[in-house]
Structure 1
Amino acid sequence: MQHTGLPHEKHIHLPNAGTLKQLMEHRGECSVSIYFPTLQAGPETQQNRIHFKNALKQAEDGLRACGSSDEAIERTLAPIRGWADDEERWAHQGHGKAIFLHDGECHAHRLPASVEARTLVGDRFHVLPLIELQSASLDHYVLCLEQNGPRLLHSSAFAMDEVVMDFPSLSDVLGEELTNETQQGHSTNGAGGRHIFHGHGDGSDEEHKKELRKYCRAIDDAVRGILPSERTPLVVVAVDYVGAIYAEASHHGNLVGRVTGNPGSFDREELHRRALEVAEEQLRSPEHQDLERYEAARRTSKTTSDIRELLTAATDGRVELLLVADDQLRFGSWDPEKRKLSAAPETPRSENELLDLVAREVLAKGGRVRFMGDEDLELHADEPAVAVLRF
């Protein structure tokens, strides 16, 4: 980790899989995890600082209960001490905040969705809210083919952000093959967009279509070099004939659909909504499959919702799928060696939060974690989750 100032929080995003893994693997006595909701506009944004000040006080109390000296407390909290008076920081917020502190180091995230306020101190970071947000993220990518040149955006259920990348230019791809008309368009637009994507409304000129197909293939190669895998969902936004030619030229393994229209005519919110509508059916398919897997396992008694059995099965690597219905804090003291669950200490620590323990064990041992509504799982009020067991 490193000291995190405003530049490190420029974007509103979820921590990626690598960052989440680092947070999960972190161990260090008196580590602090802070979460609270934030508002983006209006007079209610003053609540952001109130949430922060409350969390700071809770962190101080937790560190003191953890046995930290006054000097150690100041060293741990030093990176965020001045935040309450930092006007620029509070002028740019997401919907939630996550802050992780240990021994003078800080890792902070502006989150794209609201989180419940909670502050925990212990020998590890509390990561359950991040696991929940990732479970619901519906990650996909959106490629816009427009007159100002192509753009690639990373999109989720919460937000859409542009991916910084270099696309090939028309001259790089076509060279001497450029027609006079396309050269004229290229001369006014270094990104290579105006005539290659909008030269003819119906795409009837065969020479132009040939050039467009070749350029689309080059764009496709560049995009595939950026996407995490061949199965990453990709939505293309373009006028009808351009989108059709790109789909024909593309070698990407998961082109989930197209939004027809000039991308430049959509504002960011509408672009996000339209692309998500196209991709959502496929993106939610794993969720439906997991529910079907749960229903099948329930008929064969390969499920458990008892918290002690959940902890035991997760510790033993027997959980294939963990379905969480309720992420409220539940504390206890779990001894993985003796497989024994007892009451939590008077001042619970982060390692005493039981659902966080189960979820991180499941992920560490190759299982899946998904957050679902109570109505989907039909659990009792005192059962926060259910596991589908491998054996």
Structure 2
Amino acid sequence: MLYIDTPTLQQFKKLNSERARACVSIYLPTTPLTQDIDASRIELGNLVKNAMSQLEELSLDKGEIAAIGEEFDDLLEDDEFWRFQAHSLAIFATPTKIRTFRLANKLNATVEVADRFLLKPLLRAITFPHDALVLALSENAVRLVEVFPDLPPQEIKVPGMPSDAASANNRSTINDRSAKRRITGSEGQKVLLANYARQVDAALRPVLSGRDLPLILAATQPLDSIFRSVTSITSLADETITDTNDRSTDSEIATSAQKVLDGIYASQIEEFNATFEARKGASRTTTDISDAARAATFGAIETLLVDFDEVVHGTIDEESGAVTFADEGPHTFGVVDEIMSRALASGATVLAVRKPDLPHDASLAATLRYPI
């Protein structure tokens, strides 16, 4: 099983706004296979040594450095914690607090010490989740399946979920067209299916609460349109899986779901690229880090795409947005991360993407609210 606790957007923004004299960010590749996790623990120990060396270069009280070291020691020795992992682990530590997030994404090993956290890799997990929930819904059966990028899918038991449309309506069948029934014919059947769909929706809501995963519907008409007309679930994907049925295995459902997820990702990138090209002539785009820093400082960025693997070090002036590039060290930070931070603060949409998805092999790309 994949153990995931991806931060919500609100949690991400809270981390994004945090400032301290020493903020340690570590990203670590892990494995959900408990018997193979020791290699990740050893690698974390090496990354912590790197972080502690950087901390010693700062004018910190020895007690603050020791506090961070103790937090990491406790984490490394927590056997129960290491039993339950996913594909990556994000760790954020200050002298007073340590936070961890287990992620489905495979991220590169990274350590950063600055006065703020390195969050761009974490944004990838929020921007484009590689796992999803699939509601396989038909008149005769319903199941909720969680799908993962590199592990077998898993059915989730939902308390209060009706087993089928007939039992949801306290009937032996919903296809009885006898005139003795109060609700008959195709219109009557739609009423019964709508009641079934509402019960499914009500059962799902507590399970989905607090989870940011997209929900993909696997259904055919008329249940597809009926469920969409009654549901209150905002994470429901626009595209429906129509090539599965009650006899489809969870693996077959997962295969179809990944195609939907790929489509969601591709459509977001395609929409951004179309807007980017349309605004080029009006000076309302940029792929230049210095220009993007200035635009973010003055709230001009509407949508920002960033390469989630690359880290460009330096500083950005708080008032002018001027960038000073520099080598990695505890007195610098990821400038693209800071651009992302300022863009988010002004209400911009920010997406972490792969390098090939960015125009001109850039580190970032932005569409602007107005020319700069």
Question: TM-score with structure 2 length normalisation?
Answer: 0.77
State the one-letter code of the partner of 1:361: R
- Matching residue of 1:337: 319
Residue pairs, 1:211-230, within 5 angstroms: 211-223=192-204
State the one-letter code of the partner of 1:308: S
Is 304-313 or 65-74 further displaced after alignment? 65-74
- Matching residue of 1:248: 226
Q: What per-residue deviation string (whole Å, max 9, x for no partner) do you get for residues 69-126 of structure 1? A: 3322232232331343444443432111101112232210111111122212222221
Indicate whether 1:312 and 2:291 are aligned.
Answer: no
Indicate whether 1:366 and 2:352 are aligned.
Answer: no
Q: Determine the C-alpha separation between the residues in 1 that align with 2:311 and 2:263.
A: 32
State the one-letter code of the partner of 1:284: A
Residue pairs, 1:1-391, within 5 angstroms: 11-41=3-33, 45-137=37-129, 141-145=133-137, 150-152=142-144, 166-167=159-160, 178-179=170-171, 181=172, 211-223=192-204, 234-237=215-218, 244-245=222-223, 247-251=225-229, 252=231, 256-262=239-245, 265-267=248-250, 269-278=251-260, 280-282=262-264, 284-325=266-307, 327-344=309-326, 347-349=329-331, 352-379=333-360, 383-391=362-370
Contact map agreement 2:297 2:320 (CA 8 A) in 1: no
Contact map agreement 1:13 1:112 (CA 8 A) in 2: no
Q: Determine the C-alpha separation between the residues in 2 that align with 1:375 and 1:105.
A: 36
State the one-letter code of the partner of 1:114: K
Shift of 1:174: 7.4
- Matching residue of 1:192: none
Q: Determine the C-alpha separation between the residues in 2 that align with 1:170 and 1:331.
A: 55
Is 307-316 or 58-67 further displaced after alignment? 58-67
Equivalenced residues, count: 352
State the one-letter code of the partner of 2:304: L
Shift of 1:312: 0.8
C-alpha spacing 1:323/1:214, structure 2 compared with 1 (3 Å): closer
Contact map agreement 1:213 1:246 (CA 8 A) in 2: no
C-alpha spacing 1:138/1:289, structure 2 compared with 1 (3 Å): farther
Shift of 1:213: 4.5
Q: Determine the C-alpha separation between the residues in 1 that align with 2:224 and 2:200.
A: 9
Contact map agreement 2:16 2:117 (CA 8 A) in 1: yes
Shift of 1:311: 0.9
Q: Determine the C-alpha separation between the residues in 2 that align with 1:123 and 1:277.
A: 40
Q: Determine the C-alpha separation between the residues in 2 that align with 1:317 and 1:65.
A: 34
State the one-letter code of the partner of 2:103: L
Q: Determine the C-alpha separation between the residues in 2 that align with 1:101 and 1:367.
A: 27
Shift of 1:33: 1.1
Q: What per-residue deviation string (whole Å, max 9, x for no partner) do you get for residues 199-253 of structure 1? A: xxxxx9988886454222322355468768xxx9643335x6xx64353354148
Shift of 1:21: 1.2
State the one-letter code of the partner of 2:329: T
Q: Determine the C-alpha separation between the residues in 1 that align with 2:225 and 2:328.
A: 60
Q: Determine the C-alpha separation between the residues in 1 that align with 2:55 and 2:97.
A: 15
C-alpha spacing 1:295/1:138, structure 2 compared with 1 (3 Å): farther
Q: What root-mean-square deviation, in Å, do the aligned CA atoms of Structure 1 and Structure 2 show?
A: 4.0
- Matching residue of 1:193: none
Q: Determine the C-alpha separation between the residues in 1 that align with 2:55 and 2:284.
A: 41
Q: What per-residue deviation string (whole Å, max 9, x for no partner) do you get for residues 274-315 of structure 1? A: 223245435532221101111122233322233221111110
Q: Determine the C-alpha separation between the residues in 2 that align with 1:340 and 1:220.
A: 50
Structure 1 unmatched ranges of 5 or more: 1-9, 183-195, 198-203
C-alpha spacing 1:209/1:340, structure 2 compared with 1 (3 Å): closer
- Matching residue of 1:4: none
